[in-house]
């Protein structure tokens, strides 16, 4: 495993900022603090290894970082919030849409039993696969494909997380949720008009939607349908 010596102070500062922002956004999220299991994992992961070498100085800043191909790695606070909204458990199977650098999938891999991650940009997917191998994250499977359709062969999932904005809630993803599951995604088209949304499926299969927080994500690549939406 990669040693984190040299980044200790930066990681501690990152966690401090996440905790502070959680308190500041309580009126939106209803959460004054995030699950400490999640923060412990984020404090132990080498985020700098998931960021291009030329911008690693910004690895632990609370801001998104460009990773190439028009994509970014989300800011740590948003990663913590979205992960917390999933309520991950050790026995869970999670679908991660938008692998990107692999950072979100790596965090989930330390919290759940199995992570299935999808990325439409092949070079990013290939780099993530190699990164998972090098860093020994061995419970993540990666598929190159359009995450809008999900991964039906591996469904159902205890939770689904989407790291790119879509103007509608994909019904395919809702269908691939287990009863009692949750789908977390940014909803909207323009960067300045998006909302983080949590879609819950009850044990009886009923769907409820909660708007959590204004956000700004890159748009989902490959979205082109308007007939498979919730």
pLDDT at residue 160 greater than cutoff 70: yes
pLDDT at residue 152 greater than cutoff 90: yes
Known active-site residue 63: no
Global pTM reads: 0.93
Residue 143's pLDDT is what? 97
Residue 193's pLDDT is what? 86
Residue 230's pLDDT is what? 60
Q: Which of 159, 109, 97 lies closest to 133, judged by CA?
A: 109
- Please provide the DSSP assignment of 109-144 as one string: HTTSSEEEEEESSHHHHHHHHHHHHHHT-TTEEEEE
Please identify which of the residues 16, 44, 63, 74 carries the catalytic annotation.
74
Can you list the domains of the chain with their CATH numbers?
8-215 (3.40.50.150)
Average pLDDT over the chain reads 93
Band (229; pLDDT cuts 50, 70, 90) = low
pLDDT at residue 203 greater than cutoff 90: yes
């Amino acid at each position: 495993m990669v040693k984190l010596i040299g980044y200790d102070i930066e990681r501690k500062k990152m966690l401090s900022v996440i905790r502070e922002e959680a308190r500041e956004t309580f009126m939106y999220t209803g959460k004054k603090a995030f699950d400490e299991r999640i923060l412990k994992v984020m404090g132990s992961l080498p985020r700098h290894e998931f960021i291009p070498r030329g911008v690693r100085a910004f690895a632990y800043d609370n801001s998104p970082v460009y990773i190439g191909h028009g994509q970014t790695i989300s800011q740590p606070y948003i990663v913590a919030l979205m992960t917390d909204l999933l309520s991950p458990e050790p026995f869970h199977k999670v679908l991660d849409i938008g692998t990107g650098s692999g950072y979100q999938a790596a965090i989930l891999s330390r919290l759940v039993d199995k992570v299935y991650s999808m990325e439409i940009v092949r070079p990013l997917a290939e780099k993530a696969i190699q990164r998972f191998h090098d860093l020994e994250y061995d419970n993540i499977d990666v598929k190159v494909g359009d995450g809008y359709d999900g991964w039906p062969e591996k469904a159902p999932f205890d939770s689904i997380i989407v790291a790119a904005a879509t103007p509608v809630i994909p019904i395919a993803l809702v269908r691939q949720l287990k009863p009692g599951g949750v789908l977390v995604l940014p909803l909207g088209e323009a960067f300045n008009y998006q909302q983080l949304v949590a879609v819950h499926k009850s044990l009886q299969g009923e769907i409820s939607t909660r708007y959590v927080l204004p956000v700004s994500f890159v748009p989902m690549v490959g979205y082109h349908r308007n007939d498979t939406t919730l």
